[in-house]
Structure formats: structure tokens, C-alpha cells
Chain A
Amino acid sequence: MTTTAIPVTTRKDWSSDQEVRWCPGCGDYSILAAVQMLMPQLGVRRENTVFLSGIGCAARFPYYMNTYGMHSIHGRAPAIATGLATSRPDLDVWVISGDGDSLSIGGNHLIHALRRNVRVNILMFNNQIYGLTKGQYSPTSEVAKVTKSTPFGSLDTPFNPVSLALGAEATFVARTHDMDRAHMQETFRRAHEHNGAAFVEVLQNCNVFNDGAFEKITGKDVRSNMLIPLVHGQPIVFGVEGEERGVAQRPDGGLEIVPVGEAGPAALLVHDEKRDDPGLAFALSRLARGPYEPTPIGVFRAVERPEYGAQMSQQIVESQEKRGLGDIEALLRSGSSWTVE
């Protein structure tokens, strides 16, 4: 690892020579562009950056980044990233995943990586559909979704990814969407700054198999009335000028959306992403029952907790301080030994 100044780079330096092979119009293009354009601003080196993925459309992402990378197997990227990030604390490790990869086959690895607080940035592209296998319903698809594998409608209650991450003891949980590069970049930047596991749900349009899944909330003309920006320390308000609405806490503790004009600014909930109790963040994640009701975006939760890999390294340091560097000759004699002349 070099100690010289971090070289000035551009998007081009972070783009590999491989042809991008997502369907034309896929939301993944804008996420890739947002990341490639953000990387030069983060003050990191390409050689110390790793993009890891599982399987799915989103999982092709590492091939397009001119960094170290691994396209692994379905759902397992958080586990592989845990081994890499804990044994190489000098690296920046990003996991790129989708709703099927993270929440179906890889659900177990995701929740454990989050609760352990391993230093990885997990970007989960949620398009509420299986794209690479050509259009089956996913664990985030709405109930009664008609697809090739559910011709009579799906029966499964979907996961709310933000709720799930909060329930898994995640220390950083955020949501952004593929139609807003600035918001994506700001959210990814925050995830990268976080010392621990960062989980970002990116609402992403699959224009082939689930076109317009988020149109009712992310569409340009509806966005300001349907997306609720979360800003730390600020009252939670949204909506066009004169018609602002806000989030207030009901007497029973639940959250509701109220017109600011009627309730008054003092009634509004002030967003506190550093709140130790994840209860309010969870309540915020439940405000919308689906991508057709006003939906919070931004950082739900960003709290500090000891990072897993650093603690693992610390145990090694402490053992070595106490017992000295491991001596194999002594190790082999740790039971009783005897000598034959």
C-alpha cells in the first residue's frame, strides 16, 4: 500500500473496460453512474476498493467498476464480504445486491452481517421483481402480484427492507432511489462514512419486468408530495409549498401524516437518526404500506457501535500483548510432553 497522496481521479478511472449489459432503460445505469461519479470524491484509492456481489442483474455491477471485485454466488456476498473486510481492515468493501439476492436466498447472511456491524456498505437495489430469471415475483413484490410463477397472484406478504434491517440491529439504514443522482450520492457517501455495516435500499426501476413499480412516489411530478425526506435534527415535512404535510406522533405512540397548516410546526416529529432506540426509525419505515403512499427517504438510523473487524483485530493484539507472539514450539508442548533418550 502506497503512502503517497491519493491521486485525483475521474469517473473514467473508476469505470472498467467491460461493456455494460443491462437492458436499455434499466435503473441500474443511473445507480452505476452515481457510484462511478461519487468514488473520485470519497478520497479513496481504487486498489483499496472492492465491489462484491451475489447473483442477479444488480450483481453484474462489480464487472463495471475498475477496482478489485468479485461476482460470487447467490445471496452469499455478505458472508464473503465479512471474511474479506475483517481480515483486511484497510479495504473499502461494497456489496451490491438485489431484493431476491439479499432478502430471499441471502436473507440469513444479510441480517447477521448487519447485527455484527461488519464494515461493509451494502447497496440493495430493490425492483420488487426477479429480473435475471425473467420476471418471477420477489420477496418485496406486493401481495397478489401476477407473474409467470404466480399466474393467480402471489400469496406472500412482502418484506419491508428498511424494517428488516432495523430489526436486524443495523447501525446504519437508509433509502434512496434511482431517479435522483444527488440523493443517491449523498446517501452512499453517508454509508461510506459509517464505521460499521451500512444498509441502503435503492428503489430501482426494472423497465422490462416491473416497469413503473415506484412511479407513484418517485415520478418527477409527484415526488415532492410522495417522498418524505429525512433530515437529522429537522422536523419531518414534505410536500409543495403551501400544502406541506409532516409526520407527527400520535398519543398512542404511532406515527401519522398531518397537514402542517393544521397541526402547527410544533406538533411535528424532529428526526433523530442517532437515537439509540430504533423504535421511531421502525415506525417511520412503516409509514407507507407500499410504494403508493408517502414514503420516507434518507437516513433512518446512523448510530455508533463497535465495528466487528476492529474488535476481532483487537482480540489478537490483546492476546499478543498478554502471551507474546505465538510460539509454535510451545504450542506443541501445551499438553504434557516426555522425552525418550
Chain B
Amino acid sequence: MRSGVASGTQQQTAQLDQVIVRFAGDSGDGMQLTGDRFTTSSALMGNDMSTFPDFPAEIRAPAGTLNGVSAFQVHISDHDILTPGDSPNVLVAMNPAALKANIDLMDKGTIILVNSDAFEERNLAKAGYAENPLTDGSLSAYTVYEVPMTSITQEVCKEAGVKPRDAERSKNFFALGLVSWLYTRPTEPTLEWITERFGSKPQVAEANTRAFRAGFDFGETAELFESNYEVRPATFEPGEYVQVTGNSALAWGLITAARLAGLPLFLGSYPITPASDILHELSRRKEFGIRTFQAEDEIAGVGAALGAAFGGALGVTTTSGPGLDLKSETIGLAINLELPLVIVDVQRGGPSTGLPTKTEQADLLHAMYGRHGEAPLPILAPQNPSDCFAIAIEAVRLAVKYRTPVILLSDGYLANGAEPWRLPDLDALPAIEPDFASAPNHVDDDGTESFWPYIRDAETLARPWAPPGLSGLEHRIGGLEKADGSGNVSYEGVNHERMVHLRQDKIAGIAADIPLLEVNDETGDAQLLLVSWGSTYAAVAAGVKRVRARGMKAAHAHLRYLNPLPSNLGEVLGRYSQVLVPEINLGQLSRIIRAEFLVDAQSLSKMQGVPFRVMEIEAAITALLGGKP
């Protein structure tokens, strides 16, 4: 991986094809910000990258404790990568707790950069260290660099008149400066960013600038390091790129979809981790004609969105698992009313409050079946952060075309993870046609024209969408069963059965309107098929790539549509003697596959609040293939 190249300076600059850095510190240490800045400067350098913010639910757990450790892992490379990496090459540990919480992730021989000032008795005790790991020899397998980050930061800030206690807060910029030097990142983007971000607080800007420069200079002058490293730009398809998180991409996808449909966007939402950033992003974009409504609760959030949809707006609600529980009744109403509605569930660890800041995929069966009665709806899931843009548009397309609520299952990993995204050609995106009802559609027995809200389109089985405002189309809809066609209340059994089938057939029919499942089977003769959905895409794709490099054969198919499933899925499954479904749940998709296709789909389950590591997928494939190519 390393190849030494002499450079003009004292130290050498070595070439790396990739590096994984993990910044870890107290929740209040600004590790997310530090990681984010390192990511941005790497993206601007043209590296491929993938990030994994990993933080606790508490805003500020007691300082110095294991519970308070917040980490940000970033993988940068000179080639195409899919995941934030299995094991970091470098761990930046701002205190003993950060070291202790992350040391198990580190392979022997990797680099650990510690803020040695923080390794004093009190902090060591809080982290549960009986002995100082910097001196007891327990880290002898690693390359440890001890840097007094706090005291140097305080020293350089003193000249600027910043009090030591305030200066201490800038130590994350020292760490960022040092790592920026270590990986030859440009300093300008970060310095400019500091000036912009802290413009209103000149003293803070000055302290952060000084700390950042001090960190960078420390690397160059301390002669602590044998060399620094360079990760060359990756080869990307030509185009314009931005760095994007799943939540931002999702918000932008909703805005774009509303524009494509010519509908005003109405978001009814209640703050919940890890979905709130979608609410935040849409709330500050009012120039797009967006109405955002922070409701009194989850139920009101989806209720208001449904009310707006009745009025002809694009109704959207965003939430996470606990909120999806609360919205279930209203989603059932939307299924009965047959109105367009998009429900975004950014999944997190459950049940109940569970693991609010950790990722999971365990809401799939809830999305499928979590309502009383026969209540089908389409379910989509993005496969990586940037796909959140496209999947949001697709969710809106299906909701509007089929007059149905659609559940979009993102997750905490996609929501907060970032990657480079080649901007799409907006002009190439097809329009979404709301096709509002404009005239009566029925003639009564006495010859008068009237409007029947449940006369369906023969092809899509969708009913007309007739928002208030047009004379002659006045109609009443509701949660009671309706007579086929007229939409009047009907308790008649045969009619009910017909309506149940019509609602089911409408959703099932969407299979004809979505792409066929593509299979990545390089040689065409693999015996094992891996099926992934949602954020497991990255680890599964990377794992398949790795076993192929070792001469093994495995095929990979990824599902962006969970309901209805692609119409060729059964045929695809039938081509393989073994099917493995890795999921961050106890095997929910594998259960659906077994039930739908009578296929012996095996589950690979992980529920630790973090995505699969590539090596875990690799190991599972190897085991299934008997360890042989």
C-alpha cells in the first residue's frame, strides 16, 4: 500500500491509494465538524470518499466518559470506493475515552494520534483505565504519536488574547491541521471556511485559524513523523461534483420532484433523530414555495401533509421509527382516500427509543404490514447517500401517478453519510403529471352530470385527484369503505372485497412500471446470489468485488423497490442455488423472499447500530462457498 517517494522537504511524502481516518473525542470536542472539514478538503482534491459519522444520542454526555465519545470516520481514495472502510489506518483520539472506545477497530501497525494533554489521572479514571495506556506498553503494536494538542493550542491562542479556557475549544482545529498536513490536504478551503463560518465572532475565528495553522506546522517541524502521505485524485466520470449527505440529497430530491410535478411542496413533520435535517433543509428553502409545518406531534405532521394533499399539494412527512408507529393510522386513511403522500422513514435502532443515532434496517416489515386491515403501499429504499435524490423523485412519481401513500426507507447511515455526487442533468428528468380531474366523469340516472371520485383509470387503477376549487366536482371522501365508483359509504360485503382487491391490484400493478432487477454476475455462472436493499448495497458490492479478486464467483442484485418487488425477481432467484440476504435486521427481506417465492433465502444478520464491514460480507460468502474459489 505504501511506496516511498522522496520529496523536497525534510520528510518524505509517500503515496497511498487510500486511507481511512477516524476522528474521536468528546461530544463537545467538535469531532463531527473536524471530520466534515477533512472530508470536504479531500473531496475538493478530487478523492473519492465515503463517511460514517458515529455519535451518541446525548448532546453532551459527561465529559471524558465512554458514553460521550463521538467519532467520524472518513475513507478517501484514488479509486472508486463504496464504504467508509472497515478498519481505520489512523485514529485521532482526543482523550482516553476516545482511545478506549475505538481501539478495538484498529489493526496492529496502524497510527494512533493522541492528545497527550488529556491523558491525565482524572480522564484516565473516567475512561476506566487503571494504568496510562501511553506508558504501560499496551499500545506497543501501534505507531503512537503523542501530541500535546491542548497546551500548544492554548499557547498559540494566548498571543491573540484568547483565554486558555476558550482556546481549549479550538484544539479540534489543531488536530485537523495536523491530519491535513499528514495527508497533504490543502489548507485554503478550511481557512476560508473558518473565516466565513465564524465571521461574526472574530476572536473565535482567530483562535481556530491559529490552532489549525499550529497543527499543520507541528507536523512539518516536529520531526515526529517519518513522512507524510499523499492520496492522489480518483478517476471520476467527467462532470460537476458535490459532496452530499443522504438527508440533503433527499430534501433536494423532494424539492426537484415538486418542481417536476408543478406542485407546491408541503412538509408536515415533527423533529426526530436522524430525520430532522430534512425538515431543517426544507425549512430554509422557502423561495421554492415550500410550506414546512413543525407539528405538535408525529400524527399531526402526517395529518397536515394529507390535508395538504387533499388540497392539491405534494404532501410529505419525514420521520424515524417511533414516528412511523404513530403515523400508521393516518397512512391507512391515505390508503383508503387514495391520495398521494410521501412518508420518509429514516430508520434507526429500535424497538421503542432504541438507538436514536445508530443505523438499522428493521422497519421493513413495519412499512409492509404495520397497519390494520389489508393496507398495501409502495416501498422504496435508496442505496447510497446520493441515491436519496433519485429515490425521492421516484417516490413522488409513484405517489402522484397511483394516488397512493409511498414509504421511503432511508436509514441513519445514509442520512448522515457523505459521498461525492455527480450532479444530474435536470433537464433530462421527466415531468411528473398530476393530471387533476377537470370535469364530471359520470352521468346520473336522471341525465345530470356528476363526479364520482372512485372511478379508476383502466391501466393504473388510480382514481381521479380532484382538489377543492372546481364547481361540479364537489365530493366527500373518508375512512369508511366506499362503493366502487361512486365513493359513497358502503358496508356491503361483496363491494368491500372488490375494493380490497382493487387497492391491492393497484399497488401490485406498479411492478410493470418499475425497472427490472439487474444482476451483477460477472461470469454468468455464479451459484451464489447476494440480495441487498438500502444501505447494505455498499458493503455487499464491495464484498462481492473482493471475493472475485480472490477467484470466487458470487452474483449481486440490489433492490431499490421493496414493494412491489421487481417482476423478474422470482426468475432471478431461480437461477441460483444459494441466496444470501445481508440485512441490518433479523432477516426481514429474506422472510419476504421466502414467503413470496418459496426460495431458501438465507439471512446474514447484524444489529450493532453500524453498517456491515466489507470483511463480514467477504467472510460470509467465503463460508458459503466452502472457502474455495
Contact = CB atoms under 8 A, between A and B. Distances in A.
Interface of A: 1-2, 16, 18, 45-52, 55, 62-63, 65-73, 76, 79-88, 90-91, 108-109, 112, 312, 315-316, 318-320, 322-326, 328-329, 331-333, 335-341
Interface in B282-307: 285-291, 293, 295-297, 299-300, 303-307
Contacts of B310: 70, 80, 83-84
Contacts of B303: 72, 76, 79-80, 82-83, 109
A338 B311 contact: no
B243 A87 contact: no
A80 B291 contact: no
A338 B315 contact: no
Contacts of B104: none
A272 B259 CA distance: 49
Contacts of A81: 307
A83 B268 contact: yes
A68 B453 CA distance: 11
Nearest to A321: B287
A83 B256 contact: no
The 4 closest A-B pairs by CB, nearest first: A71-B478, A83-B307, A83-B304, A326-B288
Contacts of A328: 252, 255-256, 259, 288, 426
Contacts of A16: 476
A62 B477 CA distance: 9
Interface of B: 40, 43-44, 46, 189, 236-244, 252, 255-256, 259, 264, 266, 268, 285-291, 293, 295-297, 299-300, 303-313, 315, 329-330, 333, 337, 423, 426, 467-480, 488-489
Given A80-B303, A84-B311, A91-B468, A68 B237 contact: no
Given A87-B264, A324-B287, A326-B289, A79 B468 contact: no
A76 B299 contact: yes
Contacts of A1: 469
Given A83-B305, A109-B303, A340-B239, A316 B289 contact: yes
A46 B474 CA distance: 8
24 contacts: A47-B471, A55-B479, A63-B476, A69-B477, A71-B479, A79-B307, A80-B306, A83-B293, A83-B307, A83-B309, A84-B310, A87-B312, A88-B313, A91-B311, A108-B297, A109-B303, A315-B286, A316-B287, A316-B289, A333-B240, A338-B240, A339-B241, A340-B238, A340-B241
Contacts of B471: 2, 45-47
Contacts of B477: 69-71
A68 B296 contact: no
B287 A332 contact: no
B469 A83 contact: no
A331 B290 CA distance: 14
Nearest to B295: A79
Contacts of B46: 338, 340
B293 A86 contact: yes
A231 to B, nearest CB: 35
B255 A331 contact: yes
A78 to B, nearest CB: 8
B477 to A, nearest CB: 6
A55 B333 CA distance: 12
A331 B256 CA distance: 10
B238 A336 contact: no
B329 A73 contact: yes
B468 A336 contact: no
A88 B329 CA distance: 24
Nearest to B289: A316
B234 to A, nearest CB: 9
Contacts, number: 209
Contacts of B285: 326, 331
A322 B239 CA distance: 31
Given A70-B476, A79-B303, A324-B287, A331 B242 contact: no
Q: Interface residues of B: mostly helix, strand, loop or mixed?
A: mixed
A324 B289 CA distance: 11
B43 A336 contact: yes
B333 A47 contact: no
Contacts of A63: 476, 478, 489
Nearest to A335: B242
Given A79-B268, A316-B289, 13 more contacts: A62-B478, A66-B474, A70-B337, A72-B333, A73-B330, A76-B299, A79-B300, A87-B291, A87-B307, A328-B259, A335-B242, A338-B240, A340-B239
B286 A316 contact: yes
B479 A73 contact: yes
B312 A88 contact: yes
A278 B601 CA distance: 66
Given A63-B478, A67-B474, A332-B423, A76 B300 contact: yes
Contacts of B315: 83
A216 to B, nearest CB: 36
Residue of A71, A84, A324, A328 with most partner-chain B CB within 10 A? A84
Nearest to A112: B296
Contacts of B306: 80, 83
Contact of B307 (A84, A336, A339): A84
Nearest to B288: A326
B45 to A, nearest CB: 9
A16 B36 CA distance: 60
B287 to A, nearest CB: 4
Contact of B488 (A18, A82, A83, A318): A18
A235 B224 CA distance: 89
Contact of A71 (B287, B299, B480): B480
B244 A68 contact: no
A44 to B, nearest CB: 12
Contacts of B299: 76, 79, 109
A15 B304 CA distance: 27
Contacts of B43: 336, 338
B83 to A, nearest CB: 21
Contacts of B300: 76, 79, 82, 108-109, 112
Contacts of A83: 266, 268, 293, 303-311, 313, 315
B468 A48 contact: yes
Contacts of A73: 329-330, 333, 479
Contacts of B266: 83, 86-87
A48 B471 CA distance: 8
Contact of B286 (A62, A90, A319, A339): A319
A68 B287 contact: no
A55 B479 CA distance: 9
Contact of A79 (B304, B313, B467): B304
B279 to A, nearest CB: 15
A341 B474 contact: no
A18 B467 CA distance: 21
A333 B423 contact: yes
Contacts of B304: 79-80, 82-83, 86
A328 B254 CA distance: 11
Nearest to A324: B287
A48 B479 contact: no
B124 to A, nearest CB: 40
